[in-house]
């Protein structure tokens, strides 16, 4: 049972490059989320998708775009990477928006130089 799978696990980008972080869940969850974790900052919500076909901004959406491709997949795109986007990115899913027993992926460590 894979749960939430994130790819890649590590990535180094040059400033201005673009990339897409992939996330897929196999638990038939309706809601999916993207968080970033920075040292001493806890987890901050970037974007979320309450259900297939919907996406909404979280606390720190600037510089990111998302796509809920289908019920299983929720991708995060950086169009023009900046050093301030160096972080660990976590994807999570839950049965629905009212269920906070989130299942998190193992994270993507992104460095922008």
Q: Which residues contact other proteins (rule: CB under 8 A)? A: 4, 40-45, 48, 58-59, 90, 92, 97-98, 100-107
| β-strand partners of 3 | none
Tokens linked to 112: 């922008």
Nearer Cβ to other proteins (71/97): 97
Nearer Cβ to other proteins (42/53): 42
Shortest Å distance, C-beta 32 to other proteins:
13
3-state secondary structure at position 77: strand
Nearer Cβ to other proteins (53/98): 98
């Amino acid at each position: 049972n894979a749960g939430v799978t994130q790819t890649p696990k590590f990535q180094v980008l040059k400033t201005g490059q673009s990339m897409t972080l992939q996330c897929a869940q196999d638990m038939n969850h309706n809601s999916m989320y993207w968080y970033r974790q920075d040292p001493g900052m806890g987890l901050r919500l970037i974007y979320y998708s309450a259900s297939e076909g919907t996406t909404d901004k979280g606390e720190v959406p600037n510089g990111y775009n998302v796509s809920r491709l289908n019920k299983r997949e929720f991708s995060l795109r950086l169009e023009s990477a900046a050093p301030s986007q160096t972080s660990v990115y976590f994807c999570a899913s839950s049965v629905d928006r009212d269920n906070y027993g989130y299942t998190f992926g193992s994270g993507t460590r992104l460095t922008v130089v």
